[in-house]
A and B are shown apart, each in its own frame.
Chain A
Amino acid sequence: MRPTSRLPWHPAPDIPARIESLARAYRAEVRDTLAPLVAAWHPALAASATEYAKMIEQSTKMTLVGHACTTLAGHDFDARRRRIAILYGCGCFLADSFIDDFGPDAARSYVQRFTLLLSAGWFEIHTERERLFYVVLAHLFAERDMLDPLLRQAILRLHAAQAQDVTLRLDPELLSTLPRRRQRALLKRNARDRGGHCIIALTTFLVPSLPLAMLALILAAGALFMFIDDHGDCYTDRRDGRLTYMNQVREPERVLHRIVFAHFTRLAGGLPANEGRDLLLGFLLRYYVTRIDKHRAQRRRGATAWDVFE
Chain B
Amino acid sequence: MSSNDPPRPLLDQAALAVQSLRRAGELGFDVLVRIDNTAEAAAAPYQFDAAAGTLHRRGCRAIPPGAPLYARWHLGRDDLTVACKRCKPLPDETKPSEPTDRSDLLLGLLSLVSQFSGVLKERGKDYQKTDEGQALSAQLGAIYRDLGRREKDVLDAMLGTLDTVIERLRALDRSLNRNGIDGKD
Say if A and B assemble together: yes
What separation, in Å, do the CA atoms of A44 and B176 have in the docked complex?
37
B 64-100 binary contact with A (CB < 8 Å = 1; else 0): 0010101111000011011000000000000000110
What separation, in Å, do the CA atoms of A120 and B165 have in the docked complex?
23
In the bound complex, residues from chain A placing their C-beta under 8 Å from that of B81 are 213
In the bound complex, residues from chain B placing their C-beta under 8 Å from that of A219 are 50-51, 68
Given contacts A144-B173, A215-B48, contact A74 B71 (CB under 8 A): no
Question: In B16-68, which residues have CB < 8 Å from any A CB?
Answer: 16, 19-20, 22-23, 30-38, 40-41, 48, 50-53, 55, 66, 68
In the bound complex, residues from chain A placing their C-beta under 8 Å from that of B31 are 119-121
On whether the beta carbons of A74 and B15 are closer than 8 Å, the reply is no
A 33-66 binary contact with B (CB < 8 Å = 1; else 0): 0001001110100000000000000000000000
A112 to chain B, nearest CB (A): 14
Answer yes or no: A7 CB below 8 A from chain B CBs.
Answer: no
Q: Which residue of A lies closest to B29 (CB)?
A: A120
What separation, in Å, do the CA atoms of A197 and B69 have in the docked complex?
10
B: number of interface residues (CB 8 Å): 57
A218 to chain B, nearest CB (A): 9
Which of B16, B71, B98 has the most A CB atoms < 10 Å from its CB? B16
On whether the beta carbons of B51 and A216 are closer than 8 Å, the reply is yes
Q: What number of A-B contacts does a CB cutoff of 8 Å give?
A: 144
A 67-106 binary contact with B (CB < 8 Å = 1; else 0): 0000001111000100000000000000000000000000
Binds B, one of A17-25, A188-196, A239-247: A188-196
What separation, in Å, do the CA atoms of A261 and B168 have in the docked complex?
46
On whether the beta carbons of B73 and A149 are closer than 8 Å, the reply is yes
On whether the beta carbons of B32 and A122 are closer than 8 Å, the reply is yes
Answer yes or no: A1 CB below 8 A from chain B CBs.
Answer: no
B 93-114 binary contact with A (CB < 8 Å = 1; else 0): 0000011011011000000000
Partner of A146 from the list B35, B51, B52 (CB cut-off 8 Å) is B35
Which of B40, B41, B68, B99 has the most A CB atoms < 10 Å from its CB? B68
B78 to chain A, nearest CB (A): 6
On whether the beta carbons of A150 and B19 are closer than 8 Å, the reply is no
Answer yes or no: B177 CB below 8 A from chain A CBs.
Answer: yes
In the bound complex, residues from chain B placing their C-beta under 8 Å from that of A215 are 48, 50, 70
On whether the beta carbons of B177 and A208 are closer than 8 Å, the reply is yes
On whether the beta carbons of B15 and A135 are closer than 8 Å, the reply is yes
On whether the beta carbons of A123 and B19 are closer than 8 Å, the reply is yes
On whether the beta carbons of B16 and A149 are closer than 8 Å, the reply is no
Report, nearest first, the 7 A-B pairs whose CB atoms are least far apart. A121-B32, A216-B53, A208-B177, A121-B33, A147-B101, A74-B180, A138-B15
A-B contact pairs, 18 of them (CB 8 A): A41-B8, A75-B181, A120-B33, A121-B34, A121-B35, A122-B19, A139-B12, A145-B170, A149-B41, A152-B37, A156-B38, A157-B68, A193-B68, A208-B177, A212-B79, A213-B78, A216-B52, A219-B50
